[in-house]
Amino acid sequence: MGYEEAWRRSVDEPEAFWGEQASLIDWQTPPQRILDASTPPFRRWFVGGMTNLCHNAVDRHLQARADQNAIIAVSTETNSTREITYRELHREVNAFAATLVELGVGKGDRVIIYLPNIAEAVFAMLACARIGAIHSVVFGGFAAHNLALRIDDAEPALLICADAGMRGGKVIPYKPLVDAALREATSPPPRVLVVNRGLDAAMAWVEGRDVDYAERRAAHLGETVPITWLESNEPSYLLYTSGTTGKPKGIQRDVGGYAVALALSMTTIFDLQPGQTILCTSDVGWAVGHSYNVYGPLIGGCTAILYEGMPTNPDPGIWWKLCEQYAVRTLFSSPTGIRILKKQDEAWLRTYDLSSLQWIFLAGEPLDQPTYDWLTRGTGKTVIDNYWQTETGWPALSLMPGLDLKPVKPGSPGFPTFGYRMRVIDEATGEDKAAGEKGVLVIEPPLPPGCLTTIWRDDERYQRSYFGHFKALLYSSLDWAVRDAEGYTFILGRTDDVINVAGHRLGTREIEESVATLGAVAEVAVVGVADELKGQLPAVFATLKQGVTDHPADVAQAMERRVVELLGALARPGCIYVVPALPKTRSGKLLRRALQALMQDTDPGDLSTLDDPNALDEIRKAIARGPDCGQRRV
């Protein structure tokens, strides 16, 4: 069956299509009904089916692949590697689950996990799933206040943390952040389980509250904790994402629908069969990490490489070295991660044997043409963009090399995946846009398996945030998009990242794409700044590739010319700054709001996830010095 036939069936005959896909996972009790969409926009998949994520990720593989590697945890920060087979993973998860039970955690209880990208994070997630607890992984290093907000919303029975993480050889203490968050929180958990890595000798223990993981592991090693079977639509985990109100949204995922969607995606999208290896460079604290560092590969019987470290340490060839060493078939990373490597010598792409590597998937932000060209030229591999959100839980737009690979169009993530009936509509009228016209990307309900089921304890906010933007009941992605005559979708950026210049709306993404076509430019970010004459003007911040010797002012002027050339005089930047680095989180996401705040001389907000605090100081200096091209008029 080709893509078109399979996709059409998934949206026109969803119960028949998804009923067949249900066989991809184990059920303790088969579903009694495939889809219940009687109360839109809510829907329930595989109603009445009893299953468990941990069983599908671990236990069911013990007979066929107990001695195959399940997780390979590599840390270039601590110079350590752990190769963990499915049999060993089963043992570790059971010991962790027994510890949770000893600490009073049961079905339906929430557990906050605040750990780096280490094997224990995987054990903790799977142990929660095993006993029916609802885990909520918070990205390690989040500020104490933001952690407290998540604690108060989830009201956990337990918090799991490490003594510290590491980044670029620098120890980042976690425990003091946890202690501060628990002092601030109104609903702190009674116990804290601490994974002591021996990185923070000054770590303080709170008597009667803090529990040493190593001690409890030793006490419970060898025990087996029975699976807690869950109805398909019970919550599996919460993953918090930013909201416009300032209060984070607890994205709630189900059990059965998520497992089936991931199982299907592993073979059709990522082209991975049991026994093959994926390197996903995400952190487990993000949606990609949940789905393709942990649950997806393990449900698929694959080997997943979990990487703690920077893409340039010990050298810019580390990812490619891992691909050679472990015969990686599919690499899943982000455009930002590749752009970091793009600033290095291209020869690193040809240093290692990549004959086993078939596909490079990138997601998290639109893939720009220069980065695509650099990566495909340097590796000779097929590079596939894919589009999804924390809310979708798996790709919503992608090509499918495991089923029917369509030609790659640089800049486009491709076509809707199974169950996603998508439209590009006018934001004011709700009418469909013609091919080549920009509009808002929306999804017609019911959302397919794997997507969020609601916002934790806030059904009204779920409806308002995602389905309250148009007269018709449509899920708004809040992303601008355009669809070409062949049906390829191109993402143009967030609807809230729009600059209004003299009454004309410009997407920052379009300007960034234009600037990025200059060979001297490594990375670029564009934000809107206030202008007395035109309302707003684009402000451009760019870094240059290593080895560029041109004067920054000359390169900035070339950027201005290129924008005018490609987008017209209306899009001319109001100011351009050439800076040493752009502000990013440790996951590689650009903090455009911080740039905008610096331009407006306002508070940039929480910067606890900033990878390099010096980047903001250098940008402040550049703003004080004045732009390299243009003039900021305010």
User: Is 537 or 237 the better-scoring residue by pLDDT?
Assistant: 237
8-state DSSP, 628: S
pLDDT, tens only, 472-512: 999 999 889 999 999 999 998 777 666 767 555 577 877 88
Nearest CA among 209, 221, 219, 213 for reference residue 90: 221
User: How many angstroms separate the CA atoms of 190 and 149, rounded?
Assistant: 17
Instruction: Report if residue 255 sits inside a domain.
Output: yes
Please check whether residues 78 and 187 belong to one and the same domain: yes
Query: Crossing angle for the helix pair 508-516 and 369-379, nearest 10 degrees?
Result: 40
Helix, strand or coil for residue 150? helix
Please check whether residues 507 and 566 belong to one and the same domain: yes
CB atoms within 10 A of CB 594: 23
Instruction: Report if residue 316 sits inside a domain.
Output: no
DSSP E strand boundaries for 129-231: 134-137, 158-162, 164-167, 170-173, 191-195, 210-212, 230-231
Q: Where residue 141 falls among pLDDT bands split at 50, 70, 90?
A: low
Backbone angles phi, psi at 512, to 5 degrees: -60, -40
Backbone angles phi, psi at 416, to 5 degrees: -60, 140
Q: What percent of the chain shows pLDDT beyond 70? A: 96
DSSP E strand boundaries for 437-494: 439-443, 454-455, 475-483, 489-494
Inform me whether the pLDDT recorded for 545 exceeds 70: yes
User: Is 508 or 200 the better-scoring residue by pLDDT?
Assistant: 200
- The H or E element spanning position 11 is helix 3-12
Average pLDDT for 586-590: 74
Inform me whether the pLDDT recorded for 430 exceeds 60: yes
pLDDT, tens only, 78-94: 999 999 999 999 999 99
- pLDDT value, residue 496: 64
**What's the alpha-carbon Rg for the chain, to the nearest Å?**
24
- The H or E element spanning position 559 is helix 552-567
Please check whether residues 217 and 75 belong to one and the same domain: yes
Average model confidence (pLDDT) across the chain: 93
Instruction: Report if residue 152 sits inside a domain.
Output: yes
Please check whether residues 150 and 84 belong to one and the same domain: yes
Q: Where residue 606 falls among pLDDT bands split at 50, 70, 90?
A: low
- pLDDT value, residue 303: 98
User: How many angstroms separate the CA atoms of 188 and 151, rounded?
Assistant: 7
Inform me whether the pLDDT recorded for 282 exceeds 80: yes
- pLDDT value, residue 565: 81
C-alpha distances (whole Å) from 89 to each of 60, 96, 122 are 12, 10, 9
Please check whether residues 137 and 102 belong to one and the same domain: yes
Instruction: Report if residue 597 sits inside a domain.
Output: yes
Please check whether residues 433 and 556 belong to one and the same domain: no
Instruction: Report if residue 359 sits inside a domain.
Output: no
Domain stops at, among 478, 506, 541 = 478
Q: What percent of the chain shows pLDDT beyond 90? A: 78
Please check whether residues 430 and 546 belong to one and the same domain: no
The CATH number given to whatever domain includes residue 582 is 3.30.300.30
Average pLDDT for 134-156: 89
Q: Which amino acid is at 389?
A: Q
User: Is 15 or 611 the better-scoring residue by pLDDT?
Assistant: 15
Inform me whether the pLDDT recorded for 617 exceeds 60: yes
The CATH number given to whatever domain includes residue 244 is 3.40.50.12780
User: How many angstroms separate the CA atoms of 285 and 588, rounded?
Assistant: 13
Token pair, residue 79, equals 């110079």
CA distance between the termini of the chain: 58
Q: Where residue 633 falls among pLDDT bands split at 50, 70, 90?
A: very low
> Which structural domain range is residue 608 located in?
497-630
pLDDT, tens only, 205-243: 999 999 999 999 999 999 999 999 999 999 999 999 865
pLDDT, tens only, 95-136: 999 999 999 999 999 999 999 999 999 999 999 999 999 999
Nearest CA among 581, 574, 575 for reference residue 618: 581
Please check whether residues 448 and 529 belong to one and the same domain: no
C-alpha distances (whole Å) from 360 to each of 217, 392, 394, 415, 595 are 37, 21, 16, 17, 30
Domain stops at, among 478, 505, 533 = 478
Q: Where residue 443 falls among pLDDT bands split at 50, 70, 90?
A: very high
- pLDDT value, residue 497: 67
Q: What is the DSSP string of 255-311?
A: SHHHHHHHHHHHHHTS---TT-EEEE-S-TTSHHHIIIIIIHHHHTT-EEEEEES-T
Instruction: Report if residue 150 sits inside a domain.
Output: yes
Please check whether residues 508 and 463 belong to one and the same domain: no
Please check whether residues 98 and 169 belong to one and the same domain: yes
Backbone angles phi, psi at 10, to 5 degrees: -65, -25
Domain count, the chain: 2
Q: Which amino acid is at 118?
A: I
User: How many angstroms separate the CA atoms of 417 and 90, rounded?
Assistant: 32
Inform me whether the pLDDT recorded for 244 exceeds 60: no
- pLDDT value, residue 634: 38
Token pair, residue 628, equals 């390299």
Tokens 């020869």 found at: 347
User: How many angstroms separate the CA atoms of 567 and 542, rounded?
Assistant: 18
Inform me whether the pLDDT recorded for 601 exceeds 70: yes
Domain stops at, among 425, 444, 478 = 478
Instruction: Report if residue 568 sits inside a domain.
Output: yes
User: Is 498 or 162 the better-scoring residue by pLDDT?
Assistant: 162
Tokens 């209060």 found at: 247
Please check whether residues 460 and 514 belong to one and the same domain: no
Please check whether residues 108 and 203 belong to one and the same domain: yes
Instruction: Report if residue 260 sits inside a domain.
Output: yes
- Beta strand 230-231 pairing with 50-51: antiparallel
Nearest CA among 525, 427, 439, 429 for reference residue 481: 439
User: How many angstroms separate the CA atoms of 140 and 115, rounded?
Assistant: 5
